[in-house]
Structure 1
Amino acid sequence: MIHLETRQLQYFVVLAEELHFSRAAKRLCISQPPLSMAIKQLEGTLQAQLFERNSRGVRLTHAGRHLLAQARDILERTRRAAADTRAVAQGMAGSLRLGFVGSSMYRGLPEALELMRAQYPDVRVDLLELNSIDQLAALQSGKIDLGLMHTLAPPAGMRAQVVVSEPFIACLPARHPLAAQDRIAMAQLANERLILFSEAVSPEYFGVIRSMCQKAGFDPELRHEVRHWLSVLSLVGTGQGVSLVPACLQRAGMQGLVFKPLARKAPLSVLQAMWRPDPEHPLVPILLGHLQSVVKKQRPAASGRR
């Protein structure tokens, strides 16, 4: 196998451009003997004469002219490979596979992605919407690099960080009799049809809301169980029932809905990030930094917004 050193190719290209050993050595910041030795070694490796030397100077042979273009290409590809690798290691390039739950879209994720795109245009973020349990499995299998999910205890070997926590609020059709109230008592929902996330998709949310109802003295009448928050809002908007949702969903901008805080302190809906710290993907802390910055700037959604 022929082994070409980038140092030898660099010396060759400079000499081919200068056609003068002394000037080439000066440009390379070396003395002339190491340059001559490197060229001889390169010619020996290739078993081809690259330069003709005589009293009138130096000129490329046919083989030397053939090598010049390829040597320039090899050196440029080597330079790009080094620069690209350095950029990936520093988080300025590469790709990040991001899992997310639907509520992330109302908790700063679109804005954080836009900040990352503006700051690092060579970074690609691949998005995959998954429920929390499926994200955990995807992290463990290496299918995603970072997950934005509801609160799950991180297993051994994973790191987790809370992104945002906010209370559950009541979501009602705009014409609902309770829509005129400033606050809603849980007991007032006892006879309402409740639209919830499917227990199979989000057992935590399902359990929290059922517990809220039971503490108010009733078991919820579960008429619909859905898989996406927009489906919850759509069903409420068409009068199919009421729901308890994270406060961030007020930012969805859907018509025909009213959001009301609860009369008593409500449990918190928590969005957390989870990732593998060993080895840590260099783009993970960058995206999390943008996300935390956006969350801090977002003002809490006003209660009672229509």
Structure 2
Amino acid sequence: MELRHLKYFLAIAEAGQITAAAKKLKIAQPPLSQQLMQLEEELGVKLVHRGPRSLHLTEAGIILQNRAKQILELTEATTREINDVAMGMKGTLTIGTVSSSGAALMKDRLSEFHKNYAGVKFEIHEGNTFMILDLLNKGIVEVGIVRTPFNTTDLGCRYAASEPMVAVMTEEHDWSPDQKTITLSELKNRPLIVYRRFEQLIHDTCMKHGFEPNFFCKNDDARTTLHWANEGLGIGMISRSALSLGSNNQLIVKEIMCEELHTRVAAVWLKDKYMSSLASRFIESFSRASDEDNLR
């Protein structure tokens, strides 16, 4: 049994037709049919039930389909890993990163990594956490930099230090000029400007504290929250690191004393997929920096 036999069989299994599989593989139908028959003869079992217009996998065919996927993925991973070794620590690292509150953290992490591995180039994809996780699952990026909360199923994770949310406002909205910290309850009935990513978290936490939040504006970027708050339109709620995203000279910043609203940036990857040497080194670098942050 050769790798090409497995490749042909997977194409047939996925297409459900030999004609469609042959077209996808760009080979003639008769040779593909012959390859399938030879594979069945070699294994001594029927792999498909042939119908007039389509075929269906037998129990043995289903087993082979699952194993063939694993074998071909492992073969591809081995090839890439050997190429990584041959190239040394060079090549391009594809990273997906949240475009708002993770930007400052990523700048520090990438700068440190670049100092150690100057030959590495980067391809960065930006978006919200859900977009980055989708890119990761599709194989478009190898490492994702996202912010909690998110579904960790099938993901490997390395977390940065936990950080609080802050309330940002202009002087006209400041009800306690001498306070640098506030309780969540102090935001009751106040016009809140929030990044939609945190809407559910903020809503549920406020309800636990006995009130429903007054969302004046929901948006898709922490920079919008900062801009609207800077214009005096309401009180923004953002993660502390997002303060670095813009010019906020007009804004008064108060830390919200509520553990339930603390979030963390995390580096994530797919557990059961091949990870290049570049990505592994980046994760190691991210983890070391995060450990140092946690010790401070």
Matched with 2:44 is: none
Aligned to 1:185: 183
* Equivalent in 281, 290, 305 of residue 285 of structure 2: 290
Q: Which moved more, 1:131-140 or 1:255-264?
A: 255-264
Which residue pairs with 2:21 in the alignment? none
For 1:99 and 1:213, how far apart are their aligned partners in 2?
A: 31
Summarize deviations over 1:70-115 as a string: whole Å, max 9, x none. Answer: xxxxxxxxxxxxx985354x5x111111111121112x21122122
Q: 1:130 aligns with which of 127, 132, 146?
A: 127
- The 3-state SS of whatever aligns with 1:159 is strand
Aligned partners of 2:258, 2:111: CA distance in 1, in Å? 37
Q: CA deviation at 1:154?
A: 2.6
Give 2:53's aligned residue.
Answer: none
Distance 2:139 2:83 in 1: 23
Structure 2 letter corresponding to 1:126: E
Q: For residue 275 of structure 2, what is the aligned residue in structure 1?
A: 280
Any conservation in 2 of the 1:168–1:266 contact (CA below 8 Å)?
no
Q: Deviations over 1:230-281 (max 9, x none)?
A: 1111111111111222122344452111221234544321212211243112
CA contact (8 A) 1:171 1:243 kept: yes
Greater CA drift, 236-245 or 261-270 = 261-270
Q: Does 1:95 align with 2:74?
A: no
How far apart in 2 are the matches of 1:256 and 1:288?
Answer: 37
Tell me whether 276-285 or 92-101 shows the greater mean CA deviation.
276-285
* Structure 2 runs not aligned, ≥5 long: 1-81
Name the TM-score, length of structure 2 as normaliser: 0.63
In structure 1, what is the Cα distance between the partners aligned to 2:282 and 2:84?
A: 19
Which letter does structure 2 place at the counterpart of 1:276? L
CA deviation after TM superposition for structure 1 residue 153, in Å: 2.1
Q: Higher Cα Rg: structure 1 or 2? A: 1
Q: State the 1:298 CA deviation.
A: 5.4
TM-score (norm 1): 0.61
CA deviation profile, 1:175-233 (whole Å, cap 9, x unmatched)? 423343132122221121111122xxx2xx21111122222322122221111111111
The answer to whether the 8 A contact 2:159-2:290 is kept is no
Residues 249 and 296 (structure 1), Cα distance of their counterparts in 2 relative to 1, 3 Å cut? farther
The reply to whether residue 257 of structure 1 matches residue 251 of structure 2 is yes
Report the identity percentage.
Answer: 20
* Residue type of the alignment partner of 1:284: A
Name the SS for the 2:181 alignment partner: coil
Deviation at 1:116, TM superposition (A): 2.2
Deviation of 1:128 after TM superposition, in Å, equals: 0.9
- Write out per-residue CA displacement over residues 103-138 of structure 1, whole angstroms, 9 at most, x where no aligned residue: 1112x2112212222222221111111111111111
The residue type equivalent to 1:111 in the other structure is D
1:124-163 matched pairs, under 5 angstroms: 124-151=121-148, 152-156=150-154, 158-163=155-160
Once residues 258 and 217 of structure 2 are traced to their aligned partners in structure 1, the CA distance between those partners, rounded to angstroms, is 25
RMSD: 2.6
Deviations 1:138-185, CA, capped at 9 Å, x for gaps: 1111111111112322333x3222223212222222442334313212
Counterpart in the other structure of 1:111: 108
Q: Which residue of 2 aligns with 1:170?
A: 167
Name the SS for the 1:144 alignment partner.
Answer: coil
For the structure 1 residues 179 and 295, does the alpha-carbon distance in structure 2 shift closer, same or farther, using more than 3 Å as the test? farther
In the alignment, is residue 222 of structure 1 matched against residue 239 of structure 2?
Answer: no
Matched, 1:231 2:224: yes
Cα distance in 2 between the residues matched to 1:127 and 1:193: 35
The residue aligned with 1:241 is 234
> Aligned residue pairs: how many?
210
SS in 2 for 1:214: helix
- Indicate the SS of the match to 2:152: coil
Q: Distance in 2 between matches of 1:257 and 1:97?
A: 35
